[in-house]
Amino acid sequence: MSRSAQYLTEVAKYGANNYKPLPVVLERGEGAWVWDVDGKKYLDCLSAYSAVNQGHCHPAIVKAAQEQAGRMTLTSRAFHNDQMGPFLHQLCDLAGFAKALPMNSGAEAVETAIKAVRKWGYKVKGIPANKAEIIVSAGNFHGRTTTIISFSTEEQYKDGFGPLTPGFKIIPFGDADALEKAITPNTCAFLTEPLQGEAGVIVAPVGWLKKVRDICTRHNVLWVDDEIQTGLGRTGKMFAWQWEGARPDAVIVGKAVAGGMYPVSAFLADENVMGVFKPGDHGSTFGGNPFGAAIGRVALKVLVDEKLADRAQELGTWFMDELRKIKTSSVVEVRGKGLLIGVEIKVEAGSARPYCEALAERGILCKETHDQVVRFAPPLTVSKADLQWALPKIAEVLAMSFAPAMAAAH
């Protein structure tokens, strides 16, 4: 039995069956490359769902983690620490907002946003108690807490987990007219991703965010932009909203905030929104801890110093063009922005899963999303040579067909 097989057997025996990962057991990563326990090398084209934008084990981030681990890791929010303030200052300057509330996972930051906009709706806008509505986009993915799955349009995410949380209204993604029609006097916020990753790398129409900004301003509704996957350079700008220059009222960040080294997330807004919070309203034992903050400070600096957003734009444009040149009858389209790219597989060619498995056999790690889409999202530190190495292998796999066998004629 291989070492990989031993680990897979162990996790099957002792782990909950809540994921369907590829049967690859990784033990080491460096830059855009990872190695499994049997020594096989792979080009990582998932980046832990965009958490590893700075590359695996970036030396500067590793150094920060090692140094802070030997000094102090946790104070709780009962006390101050010497890392959180400088980290929040740096994050606010980078994102262009006055205040940040640090959390850990992306889902926690989304929950923070929901609480903030609801309280703003009651205390500032004057919505009657318990009547606040939040509008969201169909196909959204904001996390997996009970409240967040309550406004998902993916039935599996909700099946067996009710009763669900009320107060949400769903409209089509990218549809400005639907947003305007959905707003009522009780609407406190519109929460959306600027580009949907989990839904299959769905790109909104050009100009949609500008319309969102205009509509929300006219109706006194907060626009909350979830940049957990799209932010911090992934789409070719530091934040995807910057493609249209339409500034949201609040931004949610996570994943790459700490370069995949540690879970750090945050909700960012100006004082008019963040000011609704009072001591005791919200918190987290680990949110803003000195270990995560020290790592985050360096991880953000790497993004800026290495110009990783510019790199994502340049390499992503080239890579998408190269993918579109591949001659195959299996692909519907190649779409995306920066280094967040989706290749949609025709239903008649099979699902995206066997394409990902075939790519893994050839040393390229991707993951299917929404059954028919292969997502390519390598670390932003990936080199053009790395991607050139991968292209012929990708072309070979995309030329295949994994169509299910036709039922025998009666």
Catalytically annotated residues:
141, 226, 255
């299996």: which residue's tokens?
A: 330
Element (H, E) at 26: strand 26-30
The total of other beta-carbon atoms located within 10 Å of residue 176's CB is: 18
The total of other beta-carbon atoms located within 10 Å of residue 353's CB is: 17
d(CA 208, CA 268): 22
| Half-sphere exposure (Cβ direction) of 312: Cα atoms closer than 13 Å | 32
CA 143 to chain centre: 10
């169509």: which residue's tokens?
A: 403
Residues 247, 251, 257, CA angle at the centre, nearest 5°?
Answer: 125
Report how far apart the first and last C-alpha atoms of the chain are (Å, whole number). Answer: 43
d(CA 385, CA 205): 32
| 69 token code pair | 């681990």
Is 403 strand, coil or helix? coil
Q: Which of 126, 321, 350, 338 is nearest to 238 (CA)?
A: 338
- How far is residue 116 from each of residues 132, 145, 205, 217, 337, measured CA to CA in Å? 12, 17, 28, 18, 30
Q: Which of 318, 336, 338 is nearest to 375 (CA)?
A: 336
Is 225 strand, coil or helix? strand
DSSP state of 123: I
Task: Respond yes or no on whether the N-terminal peptide bond of residue 194 is cis (omega within 30° of 0).
Answer: no
| 132 token code pair | 């606040």
